[in-house]
């Protein structure tokens, strides 16, 4: 038996099979849902707010979700068995992913990743420029980003080798 589920965002109507696992069904429908534990009910990344769909809570949900979350209909998608029609609301982080993944027509989405790839070439050390690799790299990065940069010891230990690979 198929049941209707409205997924917000992207405000899409899905036909799910009663008895299906909600996390699996959403992923198969192309809804990006973070779930690093692979559906074991341990990472808590697959939280969704349900209205309908399922009224039961599994033991992992009762253990790991707060009283307020349970009272407001939050579930772990990996623990939900689809039973009836309803609505699935994705949390804010999943909303961003969904927007990016669906490229919502006409909506401009500016992505601001924390990690970026920058291609650069450093001048080689010479008799005239005997600064440490980190000093030359930091100067380059500070000039291009126009803000101070810092690093930690593990990177400093590997930097010279990596720059010469
Ligand atoms: S996928 Fe990790 S808790 Fe659901």
pLDDT tens for 25-82 read: 999 988 888 888 888 888 898 999 999 999 899 999 999 999 999 999 999 999 999 9
CATH number at residue 39: 3.10.20.30
Same domain, 95 and 132: no
Number of domain units in the chain: 2
Rounded mean pLDDT, 88-98 = 71
Residue ending a domain, choose from 72, 102, 132: 102
Among protein residues, the one with the nearest Cα to ligand 1's atom 3 is 41
How far is the centre of ligand 1, averaged over its atoms, from the C-alpha of 109 (Å)? 27
Q: Taking 70 as the threshold, does the pLDDT of residue 93 lie above it? A: no
How far is the centre of ligand 1, averaged over its atoms, from the C-alpha of 35 (Å)? 5
Same domain, 10 and 84: yes
Domain range holding 72? Answer: 2-102
Instruction: Report the residue among 41, 50, 62, 91 best suited for mutation to probe ligand 1: largest number of ligand atoms under 8 A from its CB.
Output: 41
- State the DSSP string of the chain: -EEEEEEETTTEEEEEETT-BHHHHHHHTT-----TT-SSS-S-TTEEEEEES-----HHHHHHS-HHHHHTTEEEGGGPBP-S-EEEE--HHHHHHHHHHHT-TT-------S-------PPPP-SS----HHHHHHHHHHHHHSS-----HHHHHHHHHHHT-
Spatial CB neighbours of 41, under 8 Å, sequence gap ≥ 6: 58, 60, 61, 64, 76, 78, 79
pTM, rounded to two decimals: 0.58
How far is the centre of ligand 1, averaged over its atoms, from the C-alpha of 123 (Å)? 48
Same domain, 78 and 119: no
| Pocket of ligand 1 from Cβ distances under 6 Å | 23, 35, 37, 39-46, 76, 78
Q: pLDDT at position 19, please?
A: 94
């Amino acid at each position: 038996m198929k049941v209707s589920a409205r997924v917000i965002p992207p405000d899409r109507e899905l036909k799910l099979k009663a008895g299906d696992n909600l996390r699996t069904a959403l992923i198969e429908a192309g809804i990006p849902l973070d779930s690093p534990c692979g559906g074991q009910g341990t990472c808590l990344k697959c939280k969704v707010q349900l209205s309908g769909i399922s009224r039961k809570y599994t033991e992992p949900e009762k253990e790991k979700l707060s009283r307020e979350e349970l009272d407001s209909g939050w579930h772990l998608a990996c623990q939900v068995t689809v039973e009836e029609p309803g609505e699935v609301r994705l949390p804010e982080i999943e909303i961003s992913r969904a927007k990016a993944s669906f490229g919502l027509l006409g909506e401009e989405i500016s992505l601001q990743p924390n990690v970026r790839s920058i291609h650069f070439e450093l001048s080689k050390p010479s008799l005239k420029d005997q600064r440490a690799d980190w000093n030359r790299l930091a100067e380059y990065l500070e000039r291009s980003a126009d803000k101070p940069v810092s690093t930690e010891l593990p990177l400093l230990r590997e930097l010279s080798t990596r720059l010469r690979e």
